[in-house]
Structure formats: C-alpha cells, structure tokens
Amino acid sequence: MPSLTAAQTNAMQELLRIAPVIDDLGRLFRRAGHDLFLVGGSVRDALLGQLGHDLDFTTSAMPDQTHALLKEFTPSTWDIGRDFGTIGAMKRADGNEWQIEVTTFRADIYRSESRKPEVNFGDTIDGDLVRRDFTVNAMAINVATREFVDPYGGLDDLADGVIRTPGTPEASFSDDPLRMMRAARFASRLGFTVAPEVVAAMKDMADRIQIVSAERIQAELTGLLLTDQPREGIDLLVRTGVADIILPELPALRLEVDEHAHHKDVYEHSLTVLEQAIELEKDRGHQPDIVNRLAALLHDIGKPPTRRFEGSKVTFHHHDVVGAKMATKRLKALTYPTAVVKAVAKLIDLHLRFHGYADGEWSDSAVRRYVRDAGDELERLHILTRADCTTRNQRKATKLRRAYEELEWRIDELAAQEEIKALRPHLDGTQIMEILGLGPGREVGEAYRFLLEHRTEHGPMEHDAAVELLKSWWAERRSD
C-alpha cells in the first residue's frame, strides 16, 4: 500500500492530469452557487495513482439543476439515473473521452421490509460521505478549491490497507445490506484486510442480505469473481455466513472430503481450481470470463448430495450431472443470463469426461465426440479440466498435464484434417428428405442423428458413399 505521502502525491498528479475537465466543470457549478466534489472511487483511485476516465462527482445541486449545467458543459448528457439523483455526461478533452456522473448529495436508507433503497437527498458533503460504504470510498475533493475532505479517516485506512465503514458497520449494513458483499469484493480487488468489527457485523447481520434483490446480489457476486484474486472475498462470505444465503452450495462443500486429494476438502479444492482457471485465462490470452469462473467455483457442488461410503473409500458418483442441475437452479435464481447458465451447466456436466482419456488412449471417434459434445464451450472446457488438476503428487500431475496436452494436440490435428469443430453429418436435412422421399418429421431427425454418429465414429466420407449409407440404413429400418 502507498504511504500517506505517496498517496497524496499520486492524487495531486492525477488531479493535474484531469484538470482540463474538472476545472471547467467546477467553475460552472460554482458560478451557479453549487458545490461540486470529486468523490468515492474516483478519489480512492486517484490516491492509488490509478484514476481512469470514469469520474464520479457529488454536488449540492438538485438533479434538474445538474442536468441543466451539464448541458452547458457538453452536448452529450443522459438522465437515466435521475430518480437516484444521478446525471451522466460524456466529454471529449485533450484527446480523451471522459465518462462523468454527477449525483446530488445522498442520504439513502433501507427500510427493514424493503428490497430497494429509499432515495433521500442530503445537503452537506459530510452527510453524503457518512452514508457511503467504506472509509476508503468516503473521501472527496472540492473541485473548485482542491480542499481534501476526509472526515472518517479514509486516507489512513487506504495507507493501512483496511476496509472499514465510516459509521458503525451495523448502521452501514442496516442501511444497505449489499455492503457486506461489497466488503468482500473490495478485499479481493484491493488486497485489503477487512476490519474485525466489520467481519463481526457481517456474521451478526448476514440474514439481512435477504432483503436485497437477486439482481443486485448477482451483480456484486460477478464483480467479486471477476477480480484477479477472488479467493479472499469468497472465503469472507463463507466465513461470515453470507454465502449460506446467497450461494449455499458453496459452504456446503466444506464438509466433504475430496477423494482425489485427502489432504484438503472440496471447498479448498474448488477455490484452488478457481485460482488456476484465472491463471489459465491469462496464459491463454483471454479476458476475465464469468462463465469460466462460475464453472470453476461450482464444478463440484454435486458432491455433497452424492457422497457415499464404499468401505474405506468415499465416492461421488454422478456428481457432474447432479452438479449441473444444481448450478442451473442456483444461477437462474440469481438472474444470470440464460446463455451463462447453460454454458456453466454444460461445463460442469462435462468436467469429468477427460479422465477416461488419461487412463488410456482414446480413439479418433472418442476425440470427435468430446469436441462435438463441448461445442462452443471447448476452450472453456480445456481451461476447467486443466484447472481441476490440483494434486500434490507431482508425478500424477505431470501425467495428467501431458495427457491433456496430447488431447489438445489431437483435437487440433483432427480439426485441421476434418474441420472437426464444425462437425456436421455427411448430408443435411434437405438432402435426407430428397433421397428418402420424406417430408419434415421425426424420421428425418433420426436419419440426421444416425449420420452424425457415423461421422463422429468414422470420420468424413464422399457424398455418394453417404447416400448409399443412408439408403442402406433406411432399408434396414423399414424391414425391422
């Protein structure tokens, strides 16, 4: 973490960099008799030397007044957040495009029975800052005077790497229970320690997360998972009991013993798989991918309900199938997009398929089937399967790694020969109907599946041979 002096130097350098934008904006609001502050994450990031092109401000002006002033500042404005006091704008200056949000001083609260905050506008900067989630986000800079406003010790906490609330954590989490999840996200994103009193309040108030909408919980969980190091934040949610409510399948894994690695439980294994999947994402040139990360975290959630004892051995037969169904149900409840739900479920369902390959060489048809079943999720399946190898037995780990490298090589080789990634039967539905004299119906689908299976088992064939194969299959079928 930067020292106080380094943080202050960072902030001055960042303010000089954005001066062409904030100076004009500050003069505009001041002439109209309103205060304007750079606030929250923008100040925190400036202190860390990481301020981007998204700038957050708070003001004494009401939303209608803010909108009128921003229209003078730039022709590109929008008021989609007007009900929450926020007006947005885009400004081009010095070759950069700045995304700006200006929000009226807020004093929001949650009622005990409400799933949404009650929007109230405040009249002081200190009153606005005390309602913010954490001290490191409760700092502001007066745009006109450059006065640094830090009534709750955010600068010290930033230097110490501590997540703390401006007021009592109980009051903060009562106002907005989602802040418990934000504590986890910031712990992972910033690499900070969550203050003991914040952790204690999370444990005591975990049940209150139930009043927050599934959409907001999903957005916060996604933000946590897409950080570079989500383990600490996830573990915080599990330790405090918040995960028992939002993702109960995860803490359930702590009770299970992984049959592949008796030195750790399935919960720890799952966190390790997530970490390794993130590294593989980077190594293979991918951007952070919520599908990869959900699949890695949840790939073994089918183990608790499928655990059986067979003598001295613990088994989890069909935990892949059961886990895929459980993930589908949970992710739907969390309002994840259908495409994400289906992709995660498919990966969980297929994540054990490779282990048969490691035990012995697959035929070309088995490789084709692996690719066909993975479909568009093949690259993600590569990442999940590789990440799932967490054994400390170096000999076994080396064997598994080499086996999967060989499988990927064979897939590439067959793809070059046969266009395997676009695997289709030798004849399409129209051709099947013409050859057999059929109209659309179930029998055409059966013929299509027969030809696809033949293609998978035996590879490509000439058109005339495919026609004869289809006629022969049809004749045998009609004679049965």
Q: Which CATH number fits domain 161-246: 4.10.520.10, 3.40.50.10260, 1.10.110.30, 3.30.70.980?
A: 1.10.110.30
Give 258's pLDDT tier (boundaries 50, 70, 90). very low
Neighbouring CB atoms inside 10 A of 261's CB total: 16
Query: What whole-number percentage of the chain has pLDDT above 70?
Result: 90
Interval 96-113 mean pLDDT: 78
Fold for domain 252-422? Hypothetical protein af1432 (1.10.3210)
Classified by CATH at the fold level, domain 1-159 comes out as Beta Polymerase; domain 2 (3.30.460)
Per-residue pLDDT at 419 exceeds 60: no
Average pLDDT of the residues of the chain? 87
Where is average pLDDT lowest: 7-16, 187-196, 292-301? 7-16
What are the tens digits of pLDDT across the range 307-323?
888 777 888 888 999 99
CATH 1.10.3210 in the chain is located at 252-422
What pTM, to 2 d.p., does this model score? Answer: 0.81
- Of the listed ranges 226-230, 360-364, 428-432, the one predicted with least confidence: 360-364
- Give the separation between CA 202 and CA 206, rounded to whole angstroms: 5
User: In which residue ranges of the chain is CATH 1.10.110.30 found?
Assistant: 161-246
